[in-house]
A and B are shown apart, each in its own frame.
Chain A
C-alpha cells in the first residue's frame, strides 16, 4: 500500500526561529532509510503546498510516503538565511553555530533550553504505505530520473518501485554476499548479477523466490 499524506504546513513551525525543523514520522516501525521523490511527481493544485515528498523504508511498514511542505512552513528559516548572508565571515551561519553549541557572539547567543521549547515536533502521517511485515528494507536508492526506486532488504532481495504509479514492478533475487550488501548502499544498480564477478565475495547462497 502506498499512501500520500499532506500536512497543514502553516501550523508546523509556529514562529520558531531555529534553522532546524523536526518531523516525527508516525510509525511503530523501525525506519532505516529515506529518499526524496522528485517534485515533478507532485503536479496540480492538490500538491501546491508540498515542498518535499519523502519515501521512508523500514520494518513492518516497508515503505511509507510522507509529504512535507510548503514554503510557508519553512518561513522562519528565511530569517536564518538572511543572518547567514550578513555573517559571511563565519563558516556556518552563526545562528546555527550558536544553536549547535559553537562559538557565537553575544548578540547571537542562543538559549538552548528556549530553543528546545520553541522547536516543535510535527507529526507526520504517511499518505501511502506499502506493508510487508516480513520485509526489512535497509536501503533505498533512487535513479537519476526519479522514476524508479531500488529497495534492498535484509535478505539481499531488491524490489523495484515505479514512483509514477506507486507500484512494485519487479523483484530481483540476488545472491547474498558481502559485496552485494555493500553495493546496496552505494549507487543505483541495474544488473546485480554482475556481482558474482567480484572476487571479494565470501558468502553466497541462492535465495528462494517469494
Chain B
C-alpha cells in the first residue's frame, strides 16, 4: 500500500490525498477545499491524519477536518462539492498532537494539555478526558476485548512516559440528530 498527499489546483486551493495499491490504481481520493483557510495545511506542519474506511480526518493545531472520500480518478469534477466537517478546538486544549479513529464513526484527538476528546464523524462533541497534564504523544486502539461488552480499548501515550488505557463503551445512536 502506498499513499500520497498533494496540494493541487491552480492556486493550491484544495488538498488531495490518495491511497493506492501496489498496481498504482487509485483506491480513494479525499478532497478538502479552501486549503488557504488553514495555514497548517499548506505548510504541512502540525498536521495529523487518520483514516477510517471511507473518511479521512485531518487535525491542524486548532482545527479538526473530516471529509468523506470517493472512489475515482484524480481528476476532480469542477462542479462537484464535497462534504466537509470542521471543528474548532477550544484554546484551552492547546495544540492537537495525536489523532485516531476509534471506530468508523468516532474520532479521538489528543492535545498538548493532556486532554483527549472524542467527536462523531459529523463533528458532534462526545466527551473529553484528562488523565495526565503532559502532552499526548500517541493514540492507539486495541480491539482486544478483555471481557464481553468491555468496549474499545483506547491506549494513550503521554510525554511523561505514562501509558494509559481506557475502555470506552460508545453508543453512537444517542448522538444522532
Contact = CB atoms under 8 A, between A and B. Distances in A.
Interface of A: 19-27, 29-36, 39, 51-52, 54, 56, 66, 71, 74, 77-78, 80-82, 84-85, 88-93, 96-97, 100, 102, 121, 124, 178-179, 181-183, 185-191, 194-195, 197-200
Given A102-B127, A179-B44, A188 B169 contact: no
B149 interface: yes
Contacts, number: 158
A191 B2 contact: yes
A3 B175 CA distance: 44
B170 A23 contact: no
17 contacts: A19-B167, A20-B164, A23-B162, A74-B147, A78-B146, A80-B150, A81-B150, A81-B169, A84-B151, A91-B126, A91-B171, A97-B127, A178-B43, A178-B44, A181-B44, A189-B3, A194-B2
Contacts of A54: 155, 163
A186 B51 contact: yes
A20 B171 CA distance: 19
Q: Give the size category of B's interface with A.
A: 35 or more
List the 3 shortest-distance A-B pairs measured between CB atoms, nearest first: A84-B169, A178-B44, A78-B147
A189 B151 CA distance: 30
B77 interface: no
B135 to A, nearest CB: 11
A182 B44 contact: yes
A124 B43 CA distance: 38
B142 A124 contact: no
A185 B146 contact: no
Interface in B95-120: none
A56 B131 contact: no
A51 B146 contact: yes
B148 A81 contact: yes
